[in-house]
């Protein structure tokens, strides 16, 4: 191997690999790292070579045990679906691990990681949709048990307003404002329980984004710089325009909220058409073609670590006035359109990417 990595051609091959590959010895010292490994550890190879693998792993990391096992047994070991989360690497770092002994370099092992992002995105999609379903029953119940009494309370407050003093009116207005807020919340939840088939037409996503941009610029996103990177070859999506507007409004609103208080707020709206993009569907051997990529990025505070694993679940929010329904709704609508949504925190800020099928191949499901 040492001869091999010295030749520039072999090094070129290593660096072209989409998977992190690195060599460490029994003490955890790095002896080689390809470009994907640099990206995985978010550290240049030169710095990695001066560091120890242990600096990147949590104390009880399964990778450390695997390396020891290979050094002892001198035969390769693979382990699938391992979480390498650590303070340095961040949370939700699911990988498959392949560790092999180096024949010519006694005491060293070659490690290859396969990052499981897309497959897990799909697994998680199913969970999100399950979570959305639990809201379904709750929403139907709330509509009955809360909205009806609320309209009575609101009516009574309005009656009082006509006869009360100015101080009373402040209080009655508080009652009507707050009841209105609860009604709006229940209305948002009712969307989850709406099982009626939705009308779908070919939708031009660029016009959806244009509309959302206008809404943002005149309200919650005032003063934000919008960077638009649109692929003119993007075909239409077979979908529901109103629902797709809702998806991007929720994502853009979150992005703007994450950038609040910053000076250089940049919202990035990007579309791309990638005909080769095929994704394995969870629980089946089918590969679904999802060539339409739509993303919303920001340079804001980033998603808090403790929210990350559950942010698509309903009622998960880090905001004082947040209902935590925005992303749950995004996951439901995107799922109903046969697509997937994922989140990338590797750059500055946050980027949500939605992958959708083109209308010819759209697999439409409701619920």
Binding-site size for ligand ATP (CB under 6 A) equals 24
Per CB under 6 A, which region of 5-13, 69-77, 274-282, 325-333 contacts ligand ATP? 325-333
Residues 6+ apart with CB under 8 A from 323: 185, 188, 315, 317
Residue 91 is a binding residue for ligand ATP (CB under 6 A): no
Is 359 exposed, middle or buried (CB count within 10 Å of its CB: 0-12, 13-18, 19+)? middle
Q: Which one of 18, 130, 155, 322 is in contact with ligand ATP (CB under 6 A)?
A: 322
Residue recorded with tokens 């999100």? 128
Nearer Cβ to ligand ATP, position 33 or 255? 255
Residue 317 is a binding residue for ligand ATP (CB under 6 A): yes
Residue 325 is a binding residue for ligand ATP (CB under 6 A): yes
In the bound complex, what is the minimum distance in angstroms from residue 222's beta carbon to Mg ion? 17
Residue 57 is a binding residue for ligand ATP (CB under 6 A): no
Q: Which one of 62, 90, 324, 367 is in contact with ligand ATP (CB under 6 A)?
A: 324
Residue 254 is a binding residue for Mg ion (CB under 5 A): yes
Where do the DSSP E strands lie in the chain? 21-25, 30-33, 77-83, 94-101, 108-115, 201-203, 225-229, 237-239, 266-273, 278-280, 287-289, 292-298, 340-344, 350-356
Considering Cα of 184, then 189, then 194, then 200, what sign does the dihedral take? positive
Residue recorded with tokens 């670590």? 305
11 binds, among Mg ion, ligand ATP, none (CB under 5 to 8 A by kind): none
Where do the DSSP E strands lie in 58-134? 77-83, 94-101, 108-115
Residue 261 is a binding residue for ligand ATP (CB under 6 A): no
**CA 154 → CA 151, 178, 354, distances in Å?**
5, 9, 40
Q: Are 128 and 313 in contact (CB under 8 A)?
A: yes
In the bound complex, what is the minimum distance in angstroms from residue 59's beta carbon to ligand ATP? 28
Residue 323 is a binding residue for ligand ATP (CB under 6 A): yes
In the bound complex, what is the minimum distance in angstroms from residue 327's beta carbon to ligand ATP? 3
**Distance (Å, whole) CA 44 – CA 38:** 5
Query: How many residues are recorded in the chain?
Result: 367
List binders of ligand ATP among 284-303 (CB under 6 A). Answer: 298, 300-303
Q: Which one of 101, 239, 291, 326 is in contact with Mg ion (CB under 5 A)?
A: 326
Closest Cα to residue 110, out of 216, 20, 208, 8? 20
Is 67 exposed, middle or buried (CB count within 10 Å of its CB: 0-12, 13-18, 19+)? buried
Residue 221 is a binding residue for Mg ion (CB under 5 A): no
Q: Which one of 318, 362, 364, 367 is in contact with ligand ATP (CB under 6 A)?
A: 318
302 binds, among ligand ATP, Mg ion, none (CB under 5 to 8 A by kind): ligand ATP
Residue 61 is a binding residue for Mg ion (CB under 5 A): no
Site residues, ligand ATP (CB under 6 A):
250, 254-255, 258, 298, 300-304, 307, 311, 316-319, 322-328, 350
Site residues, Mg ion (CB under 5 A):
254, 326
């Amino acid at each position: 191997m040492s001869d091999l990595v010295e030749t520039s051609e072999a090094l070129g091959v290593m660096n072209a690999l989409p998977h992190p590959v690195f060599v460490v010895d029994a003490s955890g010292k790095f002896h080689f790292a390809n470009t994907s490994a640099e990206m995985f550890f978010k550290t240049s190879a030169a710095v990695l070579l001066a560091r120890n693998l242990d600096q990147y792993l949590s104390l009880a990391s399964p990778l450390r045990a695997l390396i020891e096992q290979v050094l002892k047994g001198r035969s390769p070991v693979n382990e699938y679906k391992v979480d390498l989360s650590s303070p340095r690497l961040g949370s939700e770092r699911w990988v498959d691990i392949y560790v092999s002994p180096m024949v010519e370099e006694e005491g060293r092992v070659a490690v290859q990681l396969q990052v499981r992002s897309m497959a897990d995105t799909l697994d998680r999609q199913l969970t999100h949709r399950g979570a959305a379903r639990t809201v379904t029953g709750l929403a139907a119940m709330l509509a009955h048990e809360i909205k009806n009494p609320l309209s009575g309370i609101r009516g009574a407050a309005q009656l009082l307003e006509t006869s009360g003093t100015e101080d009373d009116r402040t209080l009655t207005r508080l009652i009507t404002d707050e009841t209105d807020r609860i009604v709006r919340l229940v209305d948002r939840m009712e969307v989850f329980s709406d099982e009626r088939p939705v009308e779908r037409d070919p939708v031009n996503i660029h016009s959806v984004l244009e509309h959302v941009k206008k809404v943002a610029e005149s309200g919650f996103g005032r003063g934000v710089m919008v960077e638009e990177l649109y692929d003119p070859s993007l075909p239409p999506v077979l979908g529901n325009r109103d629902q797709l507007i809702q998806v991007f409004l929720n994502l853009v609103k979150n992005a703007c909220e994450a950038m609040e208080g910053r000076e250089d707020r940049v919202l990035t709206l990007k579309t791309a058409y990638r005909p080769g993009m095929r994704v394995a569907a969870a629980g089946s051997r089918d590969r679904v073609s999802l060539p339409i990529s739509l993303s919303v990025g920001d340079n804001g505070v980033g998603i808090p670590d403790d929210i990350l694993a559950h942010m698509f679940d309903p009622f998960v929010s880090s905001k004082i006035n947040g209902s935590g329904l925005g992303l749950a709704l995004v996951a439901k609508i995107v799922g109903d359109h046969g697509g997937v949504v994922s989140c990338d925190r590797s750059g500055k800020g946050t980027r949500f990417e939605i992958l959708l099928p083109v209308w010819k191949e759209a697999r439409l499901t409701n619920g």
